[in-house]
Structure 1
Amino acid sequence: MRSAIGLLEIKNITKGILVADAMLKAANVELVMAQPLCPGKYVVMVAGDVGAVQSAVRSGQAAGGSDNIVDEFILPNAHASIFPALTGCTNVKEIKALGVIESFSVASAIIAADAAVKAAAISLLEVRLARGMGGKAVVTMSGDVGAVSTAVRAGSDVIKESGFFLDSLVLPAPHKNLHEVLY
């Protein structure tokens, strides 16, 4: 059961593979993601009960060494819509207002997405993770203008202190053809 998720974002691929192995050996967790991302980083995400995820992340930190960790998180109660948004599997039929949060790290974008979807009645469209974007990550969402504004503010605020926040945007009425090029 995916009650919690934990992620380590590593500076390089070899350490990332080592971290993934250590995390899986440390606790009974499900491997959600272990892959290289731009610019040569490696991301490992696990899911499971809170204690197991905490144990796995601690073991990954120890294996990778603090000098190699770009960012990290443990979300004890991740919103269910995070998972389809991470894989780009959300069914986008219409974009009402469009909200976008841009971040310098994968971990902070996922944290922002979780905070956004918990703050307002919006639909997460995608959490795009550093593929072809120089290590940046982007969260997109849609809903009514007020809800999107609230969600973007909540998601942005939760990561501003980390120094990974880059920018955000709310388009109250995006052009109908914009939907086709976004997804």
Structure 2
Amino acid sequence: MEVYPKSPDRNYHQDSSLGLVSTISFPAIVGTADMMLKSAGVHLVGYEKIGSGHCTAIVRGGIADVRLAVESGERTAKQFNQFVSSLIIPRPDANLSIVLPIASRLYEIAGEEHSLLSNKAIGLVETKGFPAMVGAADAMLKAADIQLAAYEKIGASLCTAIIRGSVANVAVAVETGMYEAERIGELNAVMVIPRPLDELEQTLPLARCWIEELQPIQLPVNFNDKYVQGEGLTLPDLTTIPVKVKGESYET
């Protein structure tokens, strides 16, 4: 018997809509998603990257909120000159929600509580070519007190360095990264997002070194296993140590 994925909760999603806005730039889609979240009561389901630089932000919410969010997203993407297309689907069929890569995120949203705003900022510098992105990331790290969170590749030679830090530090770092990227290769897009919503931050990639926990050192469980020990101290010859006999002086 085949087991099909459980459909989203009908009561939770029966009056909801799906909104999509597409751009040709990762910083542009993150900035667009940020504006969509802040302009209406919608949830950011995530991003879909289909290559050649095309990225789509997917939001879910009430029909009126999704319509308002998509309109705001369109305006923002057009301001960046990166807008491709948009779509609103009122009351999407449950089968569509299951097949699209959004179902698992919908379950998470239903049970999550999100804080309003982060005290940090996000900076994104997108280049054409990997060397320009690496050079920009290095320059940004040296220019301000920021942390390189991750990098994103979306095809068409487009790479984005993603940094986090205070608003002032991120602004300084992004400006430095822009000049370095142009010096090395080609700058495609930049973005500074002050005080992003928690929900936006959770959709951005995070480097493995940020999420891996230190693992405890495992000693061999099987005593037949060989254990390589480092260089230790040489123990003295016990036969040469003086032994005291009661009532007498030390003897060797």
Q: Give the shorter-chain TM-score range.
A: 0.3 to 0.5
Question: Which has the larger Rg?
Answer: 2
Question: What TM-score, normalized to structure 2?
Answer: 0.33
TM-score, with structure 1 as normaliser: 0.45
